[in-house]
Amino acid sequence: MINLVLDTNILHQEGIDSGRMKVLRALTDSGIVKVYIPEIVKREFCTKRISSVRELLEKALNNFKGAHKKIESECEIKAALTSIEAKTRGVLDSVESGINEEFSGWEKAFGVEILPFIPEDISIVLDDYFNGSGAFKTIKNRDDIPDSMIHTSVCRLADRVDQVCLVIKDGTFKKCMEKHPEVEVFESLSDLFQLQPISDHISNEPLKTYFEGRNFTILLRRYLVAQKEVIGDIYVPDGNIANTDLIGIDVYNAEINFPSGDCIRDVHITNFYSISKEVFTAEISFITSAPVHFISDYGSYLELERDSARDVDMDSMNGEGICDLYETYQAKFSGSIEFSLSEDLEFNRIA
What are the angstrom distances between the C-alpha of 305 and each of 12, 70, 257, 294, 319? Answer: 37, 31, 22, 15, 20
* Bridge pairing between strands 252-257 and 279-297: antiparallel
In angstroms and rounded to an integer, the radius of gyration of the C-alpha atoms of the chain is 24
Number of Cβ atoms within 10 Å of the Cβ of 289: 14
Smallest CA-to-CA distance from 202 within 270, 279, 276, 274 is with 274
Burial class (CB in 10 A: 0-12, 13-18, 19+), 336: middle
Q: Over the stretch 232-242, which tens digit does the pLDDT of each residue have? A: 999 998 888 98
Contact 167, 6 (CB under 8 A): yes
Give the pLDDT score at 67: 79
Contact 264, 331 (CB under 8 A): no
Q: Global pTM? A: 0.77
The larger pLDDT score, comparing residue 67 to residue 310, is at 310
| Burial of 45 from C-beta contacts in 10 A (0-12 / 13-18 / 19+) | buried
Distance from C-alpha of 268 to C-alpha of 216, rounded to nearest angstrom = 10
φ, ψ of residue 315 in degrees (nearest 5): -85, -45
Contact between 189 and 202 (Cβ < 8 Å): no
Residues in contact with 260: Cβ distance below 8 Å, sequence separation at least 6, in sequence order: 228, 231, 232, 288, 289, 290
Under 8 Å between Cβ of 253 and 238: yes
Tell me: the pLDDT tens digits for 255-291? 998 999 999 999 999 989 888 888 899 999 999 999 9
CA terminus-to-terminus distance, the chain: 40
Q: Mean pLDDT, to the nearest integer, of 324-336?
A: 93
Q: What is residue 280's three-state secondary structure?
A: strand
Inform me whether the pLDDT recorded for 214 exceeds 50: yes
Largest Cα separation within the chain, whole Å, is: 71
